[in-house]
Amino acid sequence: MIIISACLAGERCRYTGDGFDFPHLRQLVEEGKALPVCPEVLGGLQTPREPNEIVGGSGFAVLDGKARVLTSAGSDKTREFIRGARAVLRTALDSGVKTAILKERSPSCGSSMIYDGSFNGKRIPGCGCTAALLIRNGISVFSEENYNKNICFD
């Protein structure tokens, strides 16, 4: 069993109110081999919602209280992002998940690249809050851009 960002499996939970269609990932969910999760929705955010970016670091810094997650209008959503990350971790631990495929560049799910907090489209190396929490707890995190389609589901 693995975890997949729900938006990658077609759920309309992105901040814009839409999702993506990655047929292989959707099929894993349909076959019961993957659990779809949206940490932002689990954290209490609505869909659609304002864009959010990490300001002052990466997801690790957010977890350590050294960075914040803000909307483009400046509202602090750090608490919701941490709540969602913890909910995903609980799901992963309860289900024995060892691998996650998460949406790259997301302030929750980005595994190697996020936006820099300026809301100007500038990307920086780093991961989102949920990815950081999963990594800290020994769960392997990949993105839709770098996962192996022959991933093991043990």
Residue 80, φ and ψ in degrees, nearest 5: -65, -40
Q: Which structure tokens are listed for 63?
A: 């977890």
Q: Each residue of 83-122: pLDDT tens digit? A: 999 999 999 999 999 999 999 999 999 999 999 999 999 9
Neighbours of 51 (CB within 10 A): 14
Q: Which structure tokens are listed for 113?
A: 């690249």
pTM over 0.85? The answer is yes
Q: Each residue of 3-37: pLDDT tens digit? A: 999 999 999 999 999 999 899 999 999 999 999 99
Task: Collapse the DSSP code of 52 into the 3-class scheme (helix H, G, I; strand E, B; otherwise coil) and give the result.
Answer: strand
**Backbone Cα Rg of the chain:** 14
